[in-house]
Amino acid sequence: MAKTKTNQTQNLTSRDILFGAINGLIFGALLPVVLKNMNIAISTNMGFVIAIAFTVLAAIGVAIGYFLSKYIKIIFQIAKFGCVGAANFAVDIGILNLLIFLSGTAVGVAYIAFKVISFTFAVTNSYTWNKIWTFKKVDTKETGKEFGQFITISVIGLILNAAVAGFLVIVIGPLGGIKVKTWASVSAAVASVCVMAWNFVGYKFWVFKK
């Protein structure tokens, strides 16, 4: 029994703090892109401050997750998944806003296509970080099977993500006088949050199951 408990123990390492900080930096660095497309102007210096702030906050969040895991073990893993999820969200919505900015459109079929592209980049980022850090499934004996399972969960997540975002943009439309481009980003955020729980359960108990 003691041996099993030891094997399940998770230790906080400098690697965890570093990876948390990197994911925080990804989020903080891409956030100004989103804000700019939402007509929220920020200076270069403020953008730098935002990036540093989220880098530090993410590292602290991972540490807090570790200490809380002494009471509820899964909290540490959820904290890491949350950091990766925040970075994925930034990659997703950052690329989405870039495509909207370059094309000048944020409605209709074009929006759905942009959402699929941005979500694909986010999924790639998600697989890398969740495999090597969140769930620490580093063995390569069943990589093909594992990747197939990951794609299955991610594709279902993609469908849910695009469906929720598309429904909010195309069917519901901007509420409360919100601008079209801003509503597109809000819709993407809501969709990402809805899919996060699905992804965590699928990745943990099927894809990266040990």
The total number of structural domains in the chain stands at: 1
Measured CA to CA, the distance from residue 181 to residue 104 in angstroms comes to 9
Q: Domain containing 78: what range? A: 2-207
* pLDDT tens digits in sequence order for the chain, 210 residues long: 334 343 445 789 999 999 999 999 999 998 887 787 777 878 888 989 999 999 999 999 999 999 999 899 899 999 999 999 889 888 988 888 888 888 888 778 888 888 889 888 888 888 889 988 999 877 666 777 887 898 899 889 888 888 988 999 989 988 888 888 788 888 888 887 888 888 888 999 888 887
Under a CB-based contact definition with an 8 Å cutoff, are residues 17 and 61 in contact?
Answer: no
Which string of DSSP letters, residue by residue, matches 75-124? HHHHHHHHHHHHHHHHHHHHHHHHHHHHH---SHHHHHHHHHHHHHHHHH
For the chain, give the longest Cα–Cα distance: 61
Report angle CA 134, 199, 184 to the nearest 5 degrees: 115
Please indicate, yes or no, whether the overall pTM of this predicted structure exceeds 0.85: no
